[in-house]
A = this chain, B = another copy of it.
Amino acid sequence: SVPPGVLPLCHRPPAWGRAPRQPPGLPLAPCRAFSNNKILVELDESSGVATMKFKSPPVNSLSLDFLTEFCISLEKLENDRACRGVIFVSAIPKIFSSGLDITEMCGKSTEHYTEFWRAVQETWLRLYGSNMVTVAAINGSSPAGGCLLALSCDYRIMVENPKFSIGLNEAQLGIMAPFWFKDTFVNTVGHRVAERSLQLGSLHPAPEAHKYGLVDELVPEEKLQEKAAAVMAQWLAIPDHARQLTKSMMRKALLDRLVAHREEDIQNFVSFISKDSIQKSLRMYMEMLKKKN
């Protein structure tokens, strides 16, 4: 197993090898499953579509372990010729992902903050730049880092329940979203909506998120899986090579920007999060969450 924080950078030999697809017509064993602690991965070889199901109670928070497992699983799929697309969904009711795990940012060492932030960057670089078709099936609330995961996909379908909300609400917690969270947000909803939403730290209920273009489509919860499969099929109808080149053309500038400023961005995060005032805010926020539960 891979030690936490040592992320596979690229072109690792894929765990599932590069086996050719199953010959058509073979009815058995169309699905390979793969699970670590926090994410269940299933690959349907007949369609070439994998599902990554987040199952890290209570709220799928993005801990260092979760992010490491996420990157390794995504890398495996990326290198698996049998896989062309991934659907992301939560196995936990009412929450897609609660975002970055605050315990990773509170009362830890500089080394730990560095390692954690590098994993957050790595996750975004891999997902936003993935060659596969990526669809977020958002079956619950998705604040902050959870919203970033969804925004980094090619398409977002959200359950139409107005109790589920999504947004980059960092400002509400007294912190600021990093520039590449902001860039991803702006590329999705435009400058003005982003300017207002990020300053207010808004969590948009599903209908409002749809109105602002933060998600592409709303569906009843029972239709989510079917809709995600249909959208995936539509995207997979396009020749991979042309779609991948086009995706890269649209996203390369943003990816390059973080790659160019990666160490600086880590420094900024570490010095910011190490401040007494920020540590105090985060501790108070965690106390509040504990009392709430």
Contact = CB atoms under 8 A, between A and B. Distances in A.
A242 B174 contact: yes
Nearest to A177: B246
Interface in A241-258: 241-243, 245-247, 249-251
A66 to B, nearest CB: 25
A188 interface: yes
Contacts of A247: 195, 199
B196 A155 contact: yes
B201 A250 contact: no
Nearest to A195: B250
Interface stretch (A26-34, A100-108, A218-226, A231-239): A231-239
Contact of A243 (B171, B179, B191, B235): B171
Contacts of A216: 196
A110 to B, nearest CB: 22
A274 to B, nearest CB: 16
A172 B11 CA distance: 28
A291 interface: no
Q: Report which residue of A182, A216, A241 has the largest number of chain B beta carbons within 10 angstroms of its beta carbon.
A: A241
Contact of A239 (B155, B171, B177, B249): B171
Interface string A180-223: 00100011111110111011110000000000010010000000
A198 B243 CA distance: 8
A154 interface: yes
Interface of A: 154-155, 170-177, 179, 182, 186-192, 194-196, 198-201, 213, 216, 234-235, 238-239, 241-243, 245-247, 249-251
9 contacts: A154-B195, A174-B242, A176-B246, A186-B191, A187-B192, A190-B192, A195-B251, A199-B243, A199-B250
